[in-house]
Amino acid sequence: MTLSPALRDIRPTLALAVPIVLVQLSQMSMSFVDVVMVGRLGTEAMAAIVLGSTAYVTLTMVCVGVLVAVQPTVAQAVGAGDTDAAGRGARQGLWLATLLGVPFVIGLGFMEDVFLWTGQAPGTAALAGDYIAAIRWGFVPNLWFTALRGLCEGNAQPRPVLAVTVVGTALNAGLNYLFIFGGWGLPAMGLVGSGRASAITITAMTIALALYVRGGALRRFRVFVGLRRPDPAALAALFRLGWPIGVGFGLEAGLFTAATLFVGRLPNHEVALAAHQIALNAASITFMVPLGIGMAGGIRVGMAAGAGDTAGAARAGWTAAAIGAAFMAVSALVFWLRPGWVIWLYAGSSPQPEVASLAVALLGIAAVFQLFDGVQAAMAGALRGLKDTRVPMVIAAVSYWGVGLTVGGVLGLATGTGARGLWWGLTLGLAVAAVGLSTRFARQTRRSFQSGLKPVSGVAPLH
């Protein structure tokens, strides 16, 4: 039986998406392990690592978002058969990672003062500041890793990244236990030990991936040849492509940080925060799947765009959106029909009744939330594959903050629906984002049928 082109696209998209999804989940599990192990040190240590890791991860996501530009740059160059341009894109990614990261490493040394300025308790601020002071030495290596990851995945070779990340996850868990609680002649370092373990782990992962890029199947890109001098034009082009992605990542991360702060101001906020965290963390985990699918779709869109295959680029984007929506539909059914399973994972078999009741309600809203979140994540990835990043950034700002948080705040406060109203507002914001990004992708690919596809978005490739 002959399959239609759209159905034939499903298998290669999934083959590329599955390793990327597993990388996302592995990286997320590192922060989870940090929090769980530090939680054994007591309530103040737990509060400090939640505060410190939230601030650190938010700043990291902004910079990582900028470096995500390496991925579509490499994909389009590979699609066009231009190995030199692909290697140049990754090389300038390493330079951009350094230029972005060094100022942040310096600034992260003053985070205790920032926490005190925002009104945090002095003891918690001091512990969180110590944690960040330790983990910050992994900040630049993390950005280098992102640039090298962009080369691997942009060339449709995500498996080496997955292998390094899985080993890194295990190393992080072992070093966390050793450094936090002591052993093998090492003193117990507590919260600082967790930060040091994470910094060492990401540095080791970066070295491993760099060795693969230099001597493995990707050596033809010659990424480390001529690395001593940046290419100002290529570096500027990469930054122009990447900064809107970084802002978009920051807008999304900031949205949920702001939502959490909002919930913390509600009456009976302890119950509201606990239920909110259960629903939000569950939704964050399932979101890793469409995020990875969107990245895979973006790579395939970029390769088709580089080859001048307009129909293939459009098909790859819509296929990724369909797969992302299908997965989220399944997870939505679990949230809707079996919320008790989700609550049990976070609160055990005997959760506080008020928390369980509100968590069930929020998970029901998250079931709707999921569908739109899956589509918008896939469409954002597809647009990155077209090197279209500035208009999607505007769509994200209007959708997340102008619609989602504004409507959610009004519903939660004015109608007295609290966390439920906030979540309905966030759902509406994601729905607007899904429609806006889908419309943008349809318009860009339709325009390309008329005028040719190099480049679709008007952003110059790194040649």
pLDDT tens readout for residues 147-181:
999 999 888 888 999 999 999 999 999 998 888 88
pLDDT at 137 over 90: yes
Q: What is the pLDDT of residues 19-60, one digit of tens each?
A: 888 988 888 788 777 777 776 777 677 777 777 877 888 888
Helix or strand holding residue 47 (H, E): helix 43-67
pLDDT at 406 over 60: yes
* Pick from 49-53, 63-67, 429-433: least confident: 49-53
pLDDT at 437: 95
pLDDT at 4: 57
Answer yes or no: are the C-beta atoms of 160 and 212 closer than 8 Å.
yes
Residue percentage of the chain with pLDDT more than 90: 27
120, two tokens: 């945090």
Q: What is the pTM of this model?
A: 0.82
pLDDT at 273: 72
pLDDT at 186: 79
Buried b (16+ CB within 10 A) or exposed e, 279-289: bbebbebbbbb
pLDDT at 311: 85
Answer yes or no: are the C-beta atoms of 285 and 25 closer than 8 Å.
yes
Using 50, 70 and 90 to split pLDDT, how confident is the model at 458? Answer: very low
DSSP 110-177: GHHHHHHHTT--HHHHHHHHHHHHHHGGGHHHHHHHHHHHHHHHHTT--HHHHHHHHHHHHHHHHHHH
pLDDT at 206 over 50: yes
pLDDT at 434: 94
Rounded CA-CA distance 304/314 in Å is 9
pLDDT at 7: 67
380/42: higher pLDDT: 380
Residues 6+ apart with CB under 8 A from 95: 227, 230, 235
Using 50, 70 and 90 to split pLDDT, how confident is the model at 456? Answer: very low
Q: What is the pLDDT of residues 77-91, one digit of tens each?
A: 888 888 888 888 889
pLDDT at 145: 95
Q: What is the CA radius of gyration of the chain?
A: 22
92-106, 115-129, 252-266, 444-458: range with highest mean pLDDT: 92-106
Q: Is 457 helix (H, G, I), strand (E, B) or coil?
A: coil
pLDDT at 24: 85
Rounded CA-CA distance 304/445 in Å is 11
Q: What is the pLDDT of residues 349-378, one digit of tens each?
A: 676 788 788 888 889 998 898 889 889 999
- What is the chain's mean pLDDT, rounded? 84
Q: What is the pLDDT of residues 248-267, one digit of tens each?
A: 888 888 887 778 777 766 77
Using 50, 70 and 90 to split pLDDT, how confident is the model at 285? Answer: confident
Rounded CA-CA distance 237/89 in Å is 9
pLDDT at 447: 66
276-285 mean pLDDT: 80
238-251 mean pLDDT: 88
Using 50, 70 and 90 to split pLDDT, how confident is the model at 463? Answer: very low
pLDDT at 347 over 70: no
Q: How far apart are the first and last CA of the chain?
A: 42
